[in-house]
């Protein structure tokens, strides 16, 4: 399965089939909001450097597998034009106990946001748009 | 030697294309390429430090020496999630 | 909606309908595992002091609403006999940003496990069973 | 006055019933009731401290004075989730 998808993220299928030893599942969903930094938003265009984003998410998965050996991790990031309320990213962490499930899920989404080459252009009610720069806050 | 440069998001908007092919002399480093792009793209000239760069889909430092056939990208601040 | 259910937890419906201001969703699922404390398990019987469990989960929800005013919280706990792989508890926290979603979700499941009057009897492959006592570890 | 006691999980197994109705004298505290149950239920006598108790579905301290019609429960260690 690839980490990027241009179709709506199928959350139900990401949740399926825990291992018999899994007692905990933590899912994180990033959802398109109706505002950002105080400005109303009507939608977001996600653009990826696709081949590198796949490589980078694979690298994140490999590192987290070392840091959390009991955790099974599933990640998917959507690309394309999304409306308010749609999921842009999903991370699922399954593990025997809940502490590692929460920690691995949180670490995964934090790293995805930091290193995976994906960009977003926000659209506003007045028709204008701009590329989001998280380093300028 | 020849390399390919990919432009994404705000950098593509600034360059006006999503890719360029370019002839470079042997020994050109990533940071040399960035400096030369700064002479062509006003947005790039405004950067005090080189943005994150990738060669063949892996993050690299500015000291990396480019090879024939490399796929190079300078990356605007990522904003996934 | 009541917090306790004797039917399988409908996770999909718990995930539906974020508010337009929600940018983050964190789901925790507790799942019946195939072993506990080193002993193989074939299933778990969850028993609740139903009316008090509802009151107590409502109290947890009220306290967390004060601690995390931006978070919308949804919780459900299953009762009855469950097999390995079935979800026993679900917590969903929706909020504008991810930090509170993770924190509220984690706080909710931690408190559910500590104060809600629910008990579990584990069944083992040899047909024996016992009530789990988390204070004896 | 009359109160109702509910028994759950391992406590129900120990008592052999899931509920009891009991006549108490005015002023009986929760901890007095627990102490009297200890004379009837061997498992309860083994507790050094009173387990968590609820009156009318709310956690209470042992000092709480019981009222006519109360629903009382002593709770084995909870294990939800």
Q: Quick: pLDDT tens for C16-34.
A: 988 999 999 999 999 999 9
pLDDT, residue A24, reads: 97
> Which of the four pLDDT bands, split at 50, 70 and 90, describes residue B15?
very high
Of B8, B13, B81, the CB nearest to A117: B8
Question: Using a CB-CB distance cutoff of 8 angstroms, which residues of chain C are in contact with residue D75?
Answer: 49, 117
The widest CA-to-CA distance across chain C, in whole angstroms, is 52
Instruction: Tell me which chains share at least 3 CB pairs under 8 Å with chain C.
Output: A, D
Closest alpha carbon within chain A to C18: A85
Pick left, alpha or beta for residue B9 (phi over 0 → left; psi -120 to 50 → alpha; otherwise beta).
left
pLDDT, residue C135, reads: 86
Of D8, D73, D77, the CB nearest to C47: D8
Per cent of chain C over pLDDT 70 is: 99
Say whether residue D73 is in contact with chain C using an 8 A CB cutoff: yes
pLDDT, residue A1, reads: 62
Give CA angle at A19 (A14, A20), nearest 5°: 140
Query: D81, C112: Cβ pair inside 8 Å?
Result: yes
pLDDT, residue A75, reads: 97
The average confidence (pLDDT) of chain B is 96
**Looking at this predicted complex, what is its ipTM?**
0.93
Structure tokens at A2: 């690839």
| pLDDT surpasses 90 at C38 | no
DSSP at C20: T
Q: What is the 3-state secondary structure (H, E, C) of chain B?
A: CEEEEECCHHHHHHHCCCEEEEECCCCCEHHHHHHHHHCCCHHHHCCCCCCCEEECCEEECCCCECCCCCEEEECCCCCCC
Q: Quick: pLDDT tens for A49-108.
A: 999 999 999 999 999 999 999 999 999 999 999 999 999 999 999 999 999 999 999 999
Nearest CA distance, D67 vs chain C (angstrom): 18
Query: B79, A88: Cβ pair inside 8 Å?
Result: no
The average confidence (pLDDT) of chain A is 95
């Amino acid at each position: 399965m690839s980490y990027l998808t241009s179709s709506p993220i199928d959350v139900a299928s990401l949740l399926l089939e825990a291992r018999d030893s899994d007692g905990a599942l933590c899912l994180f969903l990033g959802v398109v909001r109706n505002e950002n930094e105080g400005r109303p938003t009507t939608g977001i265009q996600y653009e990826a450097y696709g081949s590198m984003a796949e490589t980078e998410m694979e690298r994140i998965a490999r590192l987290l597998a070392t840091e959390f050996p009991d955790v099974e991790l599933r990640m998917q990031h959507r690309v394309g034009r999304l409306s308010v309320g749609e999921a842009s990213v999903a991370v699922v962490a399954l593990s025997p106990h809940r502490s590692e499930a929460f920690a691995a899920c949180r670490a995964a989404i934090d790293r995805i946001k930091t290193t995976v080459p994906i960009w977003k252009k926000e659209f506003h009610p007045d028709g204008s748009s701009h590329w989001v720069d998280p380093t300028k806050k | 030697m020849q390399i390919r440069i990919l432009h994404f998001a705000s950098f593509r908007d600034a360059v006006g294309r999503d890719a360029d092919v370019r002839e470079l002399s042997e020994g050109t480093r990533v940071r040399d390429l960035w400096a030369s792009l700064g002479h062509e793209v006003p947005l790039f000239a405004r950067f005090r430090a080189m943005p994150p760069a990738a060669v063949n889909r892996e993050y690299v430092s500015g000291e990396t020496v480019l090879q024939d056939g490399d796929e190079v990208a300078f990356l605007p601040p990522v904003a996934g999630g």
